[in-house]
Amino acid sequence: MAKIDFGGTMEEVIISDEFPIEKAREILKDETITILGYGVQGPAQALNMRDNGVNVIIGQIEGDEYWEKAIKDGFVPGETLFPIKEAAQKGTIIMELLSDAGQTATWPVVKECLNEGDALYFSHGFSIVYKEQTGIVAPDNVDVILVAPKGSGTSVRANFLAGDGINSSFAIDQDFTGRAKDRTLAIGIVVGSGYLFPTTFQKEVFSDLTGERGVLMGCLSGVMEAQYNVLRKNGHSPSEAFNETVEELTQSLIRLVDQNGMDWMFSNCSGTAQRGALDWSPKFRDAVMPVFEDLYESVANGTETKRVLDVNSKPDYKEKLQAELDEIKNSEMWLAGAAVRSLRPTQRKK
């Protein structure tokens, strides 16, 4: 492992240069890797592994939209694409990439298919950490491992195709074979990780659920909506309000933060923007700190996961979800966003 200084704290990470793809292939050469679920992370991890020369098959509900997607991506029914139970029976490493609710629903079937020495793989600590809610308790005679890419499936695949990696965490909850770490790191490399950093199942799920409800999605959506509404309330046009709230962030500033850090962005903007950002940043931090503390506690005590399992397992969930998404899509702010995006030169040329 390479030792890296993260702001004064030394951490050990695995970088792809020290764990080459050839080593990963050698470790996995006798494994049959079954991916259960071809929805969000499934396609990206499956396609990256297939492109890296690893033996991967897909388990999915026969005939549904994700089954058809797998066929379009080149997986062949009866050869590399199977119903969930049959795929699980064939695998030596079973990658649980169904939704969290889907993992709970299919666990009795999957558990029956595990053989001694198999590995049970997750990209999220949800099912194992909240076992009282999910009922997922792995048998003692298998490895239980995790690789969690820090990005959506779309990003995992796009970064791979661009020749870049995506940061991933890894964890080992149970090492029955003595090979759990090798298996974990090898899979981490072949799914397209640029570097891997160690965690635990619990820390992964606590940080992940907090992040996606917070800065990554929930908080971001909420604060953008708040600023947009204040600008509109004070007479600014939809175009102006959207550009000052979303477009400049996504098309310019966040890219500079990504490339150089927040301090660099602050030092390379106008003096007026610089002073305002430095003065107001602590106010926003202090205002939202209690919200984040409540959020973390809600994650840690199982409130968030209980709601996910309760709501997402209802038979009419997809219809209700679509109604919620349509409400966002048809709001003035995001209708303005669609109009702004259509005016980008790359869109006008299509």
d(C-alpha 350, C-alpha 256), whole Å:
27
DSSP calls for 74-103: T--BTTTEE-HHHHHHH-SEEEE-S-HHHH
CB 61 within 8 A of CB 84: yes
- What is the DSSP secondary structure assignment for residue 54, as one 8-state letter? -
50, 124, 157, 213: which one is catalytic? 124
DSSP calls for 183-212: HHHHHHHHTTEEEEEE--HHHHHHHHHHHH
d(C-alpha 211, C-alpha 310), whole Å:
21
The number of residues in the chain equals 350
Catalytic residue at 124? yes
C-alpha dihedral sign at 243, 246, 249, 251: negative
CA nearest neighbour of 210 among 285, 127, 122, 292: 292
Beta bridge partners of 281: none
CB 135 within 8 A of CB 128: no
The count of other CB atoms within 10 Å of the CB of residue 51 is 14
CA nearest neighbour of 98 among 59, 136, 62, 137: 59
* Catalytic residue positions, numbered: 124
